[in-house]
Structures are given as structure tokens and as C-alpha cells.
């Protein structure tokens, strides 16, 4: 069995100082490394609610863990809670990305709604359902890196959503609900 640790990075020039606040990163020549703990095996790299990098790691049971601010032995429940809290923060960030692209698509097609109102024309059920799907996006969860497809006859400005999959996936979650990308094929 291994000990479970939550630890911050340490100052590369003074390994007894753990970088637990933004003030550590404000120093002109500050750099960080992993702490010198025997058998340390970093499992997950995370960012806390203050934007400070830290890790969840394992080390052998017989390793002496320093009793200092910036490193602590945690239970499995505490480990799981750290990951859950991180994933909640990251999901919030992903929803902001989703809203940004969704809003751009809605704005890009608002003219169709305005034209229909001005001319008294009816909007198709497919068009109304598609816009409803777009508006519902942040509340239904993120299980794909694609926005709902526009119905036939509706043209969204080319390139408006090009960065969406990369920006969405650029927000890392430990327990990611998005399916993994296929492995690239090499010749």
C-alpha cells in the first residue's frame, strides 16, 4: 500500500519552501520542481481555487513525509474530493467556452429570426429546435466536442466554430466525460 499525498511544488533554489501562494510565483527568478520525497510518484497535476499548481502523488508507506505547510498525507476520500472539486472548477471553465461559441452561432443566425418576424414568415420546427438545443447547451452537460448541427438550409458563417473542439478539450478534467480522441496513425 502507498501513502497518498497532496503537495505543492517547491522552490528550485530552496527546496524546503513550498509554493503555496501566488506570492511565491511573483518572485523574479522563481522556478519550481517536485519536492524531494523518497519514492514520490506524481499521479495527477491540478490547480487549486487560487490558481496555484499542486499534485496528488503516492509514495511508499515507509517514506517519512515532511511535516510542513505545502505537503500532507490525505485519505482516499480526501484525494477523491480534491479531484471532484478540480473537475467542478474545470467544468465551469468548459461551460464558459461552450457559451462563447454557442453565443456566436446564435448571434450569427439571429438575422433569420428577425427577417421571419419582419416578413411574417414562419420558422421551421428544425430551426427552432436547433436554436433551443444551442441555448440549452451549458445546462445539459458536455459529452461531445461538437455543437449541434445546423438544419439543412441554414448556413453558419464559415470558421465561426473552428476553435471550439480544441479550446473545449484544452480545459483538462481528471474524470473527463468527453470520449478520448483517436490515436494518431504513424507511417
Contact 55, 42 (CB under 8 A): yes
- In angstroms, how far is the first alpha carbon of the chain from the final one? 42
186 CB-side CA count, 13 A: 1
Query: What pLDDT, on the 0 to 100 scale, is given for residue 28?
Result: 67
CA gap 134, 152 in Å, rounded = 16
Report helix angle 76-119 to 125-140, nearest 10. 160
Q: Using one digit for the tens of pLDDT, what is the confidence trace for 115-138?
A: 999 999 999 999 999 999 999 987
Q: What mean pLDDT comes out for the span 82-95? A: 95
3-state secondary structure 137-159: HHHHCCCCCCCCCCCCCCCCCCC
Predicted confidence at residue 119, as pLDDT, reads: 94
CB contact at 8 A, 50 and 22: yes
Average pLDDT of the chain? Answer: 91
Residues 98-106: what's their mean pLDDT? 94
Structural contact between residues 128 and 148, judged by C-beta atoms closer than 8 angstroms = no
For 135-170, letters b (16+ CB in 10 Å) and e give: eebbeeebeebebbebeeebeeeeeebeebbeebee
Taking residues 141-167, what's their average pLDDT? 90
Amino acid at each position: 500500500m502507498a501513502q497518498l499525498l497532496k503537495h505543492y511544488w517547491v522552490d528550485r533554489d530552496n527546496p524546503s519552501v513550498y509554493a503555496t501562494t501566488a506570492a511565491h510565483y511573483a518572485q523574479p527568478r522563481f522556478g519550481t520542481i517536485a519536492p524531494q520525497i523518497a519514492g514520490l510518484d506524481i499521479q495527477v497535476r491540478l490547480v487549486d481555487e487560487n490558481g496555484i499548481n499542486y499534485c496528488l502523488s503516492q509514495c511508499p508507506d515507509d517514506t517519512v513525509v515532511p511535516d510542513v505547510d505545502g505537503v500532507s498525507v490525505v485519505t482516499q476520500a480526501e484525494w477523491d474530493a480534491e479531484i471532484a472539486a478540480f473537475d467542478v472548477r474545470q467544468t465551469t471553465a468548459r461551460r464558459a467556452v461552450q457559451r462563447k461559441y454557442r453565443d456566436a452561432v446564435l448571434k450569427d443566425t439571429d438575422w433569420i429570426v428577425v427577417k421571419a418576424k419582419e416578413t411574417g414568415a414562419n420558422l421551421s420546427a428544425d430551426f427552432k429546435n436547433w436554436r433551443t438545443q444551442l441555448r440549452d447547451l451549458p445546462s445539459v452537460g458536455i459529452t461531445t466536442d461538437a455543437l449541434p448541427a445546423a438544419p439543412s438550409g441554414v448556413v453558419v458563417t464559415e470558421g465561426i466554430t473552428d476553435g471550439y473542439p480544441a479550446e473545449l478539450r484544452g480545459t483538462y478534467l481528471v474524470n473527463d466525460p468527453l470520449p478520448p480522441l483517436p490515436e494518431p496513425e504513424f507511417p
